[in-house]
Amino acid sequence: MTTYRTPYVDIIQSAARLQMGLPAFNIPYLPMMEPVTQAIVDQDCMALIATARLEWYKFGAQSLHAVAQEYRRWERPGFTWLHLDHVPVIDEDNLEVDYLPVIREAIDAGYQSVMVDGSRLRLEDNIAATRRVVEMAHAAGVPCEAELGAVLGHEAGPLPPYEELYASGRGFTDVEEARRFVAETGCDWLSVAIGNIHGAISGAARDQKKPEARLHLEHLERLKEATGRPLVLHGGSSVKQEYLLEAIRRGIAKVNIGTEIRQAYETAMRESDDVATAQHAVYDRTCWLLRDYFGITDTRARLLA
């Protein structure tokens, strides 16, 4: 299949070409929208504003419509766009999801890119589910992200020690499967597993610091060569900076950030019980991420050139 073209696909491709990873900031609580957007504008860069299904089921995002409405209150065209993050076919609780109507609803609500997550399915079933979403999204002029491999962390119960996971390669995206997956689905971006993990979302673990993750950079290079697509890193919070920046140089064009800013908001709310204080904490943390972690301050003009 040929690569689909929209302005958002072009921007991600430009990010890959310029070796400039674009953050996608997840919004689990609606008051986070304003400070995240303002930080992106003040740092003069581009980023995605994202929400995943679990953020309106397990946090305070309420619904995909509520997120879209709040996004439009603070929207700054040319700095951000609205992305539907993980809509799983099988969710983190191993329950089947009626995913097609959710993604259709998001497209109708104005989301500018979408993601289907069939990573808990067998390869053939993931291909079939992703292809259905790609066809629906492309018909509406919307690019589609997919996932192959297991980016662990959202499941209930403790994970094995991180170093054990990394050493075993458990869940890593298979190179030949990735080659076939992209060819047969036509997805625009592919989320891969190369040592990255999601932040925990249940129990006391959701408040704990994430393990400091490493990335298998040689495996990433093989995936990039096999797929010919911009690749996506989920679980970007807590990845060691040297690994993150090298991964961006080797093919990662989009990096999802959730835990870093969610925990900033939740900690400030617990300590102050004041939304404005929590918003300020989110603003400061987002500025730090853009300026000091990603190093993309004042890069918007280059990306849009």
Domains of the chain: 7-297 (3.20.20.70)
| pLDDT, position 33 | 98
Residue 213 and residue 236 in contact, taking contact as beta carbons nearer than 8 Å: no
Bridge partners (DSSP) of residue 232 are 191, 254
Q: What is the distance between the alpha carbons of residues 84 and 86, in angstroms, rounded to a whole number?
A: 7
Give burial (CB, 10 Å; 0-12/13-18/19+) of 31.
middle
How many whole angstroms separate alpha carbon 195 and alpha carbon 168? 10
What is residue 103's predicted lDDT score, i.e. its pLDDT?
98
**Structural tokens at position 261:** 């800013």
Closest to 256 in 3D by CA, of 30, 29, 49: 49
Angle at 111 between CA 254 and CA 27, to 5 degrees: 65
Q: Give residue 153's pLDDT.
A: 58
pLDDT of residue 156: 60
Tokens, residue 5: 């073209």
End-to-end CA distance of the chain: 27
* Predicted pLDDT of residue 86: 94
Q: How many residues does the chain have?
A: 305
Cα-flanking dihedrals φ and ψ of residue 118, to 5°?
A: -105, 25
pLDDT at 154: 61
Longest dimension (CA), the chain: 52
d(CA 48, CA 79): 8
Ranges in the chain, pLDDT < 50:
1-2, 201, 204
Catalytic residues: 85
Please report the pLDDT score of residue 252 as a whole number.
97
Nearest to 234 by CA among 156, 179, 171, 285: 171
**Residues ≥6 apart with Cβ < 8 Å to 112:** 8, 81, 82, 83, 142
Cβ atoms 50, 27 nearer than 8 A: yes
pLDDT reported for residue 171: 81
Please report, rounded to a whole number, the percentage of residues in the chain having pLDDT higher than 70. Answer: 91
